[in-house]
């Protein structure tokens, strides 16, 4: 009998009971705004900022409305202005070039390799074109950060890390987001902590943090933040930094604080599910797994594989056959954006020169979420279905 998977690829785990109770307390107080505090009260947002800074090892953390807001805020805090060029990955999702475009800057796309990380040779060739790299750790694939930082440091390029898919991950033991000048994270529902929408910015730089706090909409209430640079740093920037409000509220912070305490355990669960699917797909004819570097600790909240050099119609047939059996796959080779999936040539506000080597990789990338509502047995079944359908289409191509 043909197996059909019955689970949902968009169903997340419930918010922890501790988070629900804390959220109810905030709701009963009526004090949702982050600066609406009683005498001597720190508030949920400031406490979360302190805890996230401690978790990442950063001097400062700023809680904001979304990961995309954190990215744009980081660009402004680093002094990126309209007309500036900003390096970024060609393999990423739309909020990354969107953040660059939102400040009036122009993305300069860097290619992707078969490890699904930024192409360091292409980066080295283009490093003289901009002063900032917005590095997307797309789908949790970590590049050799030692090599990347060597290129950027030599060229005087400041790095903003987009860690939407790498919260809890690390390269050579150093947390994702702690290599560059600024690290940005997302707590959107499909990320590693869930507040519906939300995000963080972390940095060790006092001036960058002061500008980011004012940008986020602190007015002159910056002393109420969880991690605060010295007063004289704010004095130097407060009259020259606009308010571009993007504050996190106490309700979302209350939901997130208990999730942060169990984040490492959650990351281990994701990676266990990833390994089951990976092992189930290993050796499938025509399918190439993306091997992870030993120096990187990744979080397996999604999995990607390559159908490299397959015709588009054959890839679409795999997607169709898997969908008929309950397995939802996304493809980065489609001519038109679909759902959350798009590629650099879809973003016509950010024109790019042709990138044939990158196009070849993108045409082969198949992507799948792995929510923690899946059991290990679910993951094994999903792998069997993908293996069977890829095999069937592969055999038909060979016939």
The pLDDT tens digits for 101-130 are 999 999 999 999 999 999 999 999 999 999
| Share above pLDDT 70 across residues of the chain, in percent, rounded to a whole number | 100
Q: Average pLDDT for residues 63-91, to the nearest whole number?
A: 98
Q: Average pLDDT for residues 285-313, to the nearest whole number?
A: 96
According to the model, what pLDDT value does residue 1 have?
55
Within 10 Å of residue 24's Cβ, how many Cβ atoms? Answer: 12
- pLDDT at residue 343 tops 90: no
pLDDT digits (tens, 9 = 90+) for 236-252: 999 999 999 999 999 99
User: What's the mean pLDDT when you consider all of the chain?
Assistant: 96
Q: Are strands 288-289 and 174-175 parallel, antiparallel or unpaired?
A: unpaired
Domains along the chain with CATH numbers: 17-261 (3.40.640.10), 263-398 (3.90.1150.10)
According to the model, what pLDDT value does residue 16 have?
97
- pLDDT at residue 222 tops 60: yes
pLDDT digits (tens, 9 = 90+) for 225-236: 999 999 999 999
CB 94 within 8 A of CB 142: no
Q: Average pLDDT for residues 134-154, to the nearest whole number?
A: 98
According to the model, what pLDDT value does residue 334 have?
84
Q: Average pLDDT for residues 307-323, to the nearest whole number?
A: 96
Residues 6+ apart with CB under 8 A from 269: 372
- pLDDT at residue 154 tops 70: yes
Query: Which of 40 and 7 is assigned the larger pLDDT?
Result: 7
Nearest Cα to Cα of residue 245 among 387, 399, 64: 64
Q: Average pLDDT for residues 354-376, to the nearest whole number?
A: 96
Q: Average pLDDT for residues 284-301, to the nearest whole number?
A: 96
Within 10 Å of residue 30's Cβ, how many Cβ atoms? Answer: 8
Alpha-carbon distances of 184 from 74, 134, 137, 301, 340, rounded to whole Å? 8, 10, 11, 18, 19
| Share above pLDDT 90 across residues of the chain, in percent, rounded to a whole number | 93
């Amino acid at each position: 009998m043909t197996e059909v998977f019955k689970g949902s690829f968009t169903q997340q785990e419930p918010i922890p009971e501790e988070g629900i109770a804390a959220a109810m307390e905030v709701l009963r107080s009526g004090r949702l705004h982050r600066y609406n505090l009683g005498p001597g009260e720190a508030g949920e947002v400031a406490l979360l900022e302190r805890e996230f800074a401690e978790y990442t090892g950063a001097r400062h953390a700023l809680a904001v409305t979304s990961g995309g807001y954190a990215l744009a805020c980081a660009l402004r805090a680093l002094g990126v202005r309209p007309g500036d060029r900003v390096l970024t990955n060609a393999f990423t999702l739309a909020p990354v070039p969107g953040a660059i475009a939102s400040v009036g800057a122009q993305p300069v796309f860097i290619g992707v390799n078969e490890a699904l990380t930024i192409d360091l040779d292409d980066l080295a060739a283009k490093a003289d074109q901009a002063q900032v790299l917005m590095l997307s750790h797309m789908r949790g694939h970590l590049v050799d950060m030692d090599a990347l930082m060597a290129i950027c440091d030599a060229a005087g390029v400041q790095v903003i890390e987009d860690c939407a898919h790498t919260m809890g991950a690390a390269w050579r033991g150093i947390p994702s987001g702690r290599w560059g000048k600024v690290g940005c994270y997302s707590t959107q529902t499909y990320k590693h902590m869930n507040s519906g929408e939300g995000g963080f910015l972390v940095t060790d730089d006092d001036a960058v943090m002061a500008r980011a706090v004012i940008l986020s909409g602190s007015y002159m209430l910056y002393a109420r933040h969880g991690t605060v640079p010295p007063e004289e740093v704010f004095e130097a920037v407060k009259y020259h930094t606009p308010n571009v409000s993007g504050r996190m509220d106490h309700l979302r912070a209350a939901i997130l604080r208990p999730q942060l305490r169990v984040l490492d355990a959650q990351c281990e669960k994701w990676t266990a599910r990833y390994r089951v699917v990976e092992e189930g797909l290993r050796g499938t004819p025509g399918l190439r797994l993306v091997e992870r570097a030993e120096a990187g600790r990744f979080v397996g909240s999604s999995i990607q594989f390559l159908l490299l050099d397959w015709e588009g119609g054959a890839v679409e047939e795999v997607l169709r056959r898997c969908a008929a059996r309950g397995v939802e796959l996304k493809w980065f080779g489609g001519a038109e954006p679909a759902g959350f999936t798009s590629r650099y040539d879809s973003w016509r506000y950010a024109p790019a020169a042709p990138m044939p080597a990158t196009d070849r990789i993108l045409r082969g990338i198949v992507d799948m979420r792995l929510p923690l509502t899946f059991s290990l047995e679910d993951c094994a079944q999903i792998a069997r279905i993908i293996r069977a359908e890829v095999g069937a289409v592969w055999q038909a191509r060979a016939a």
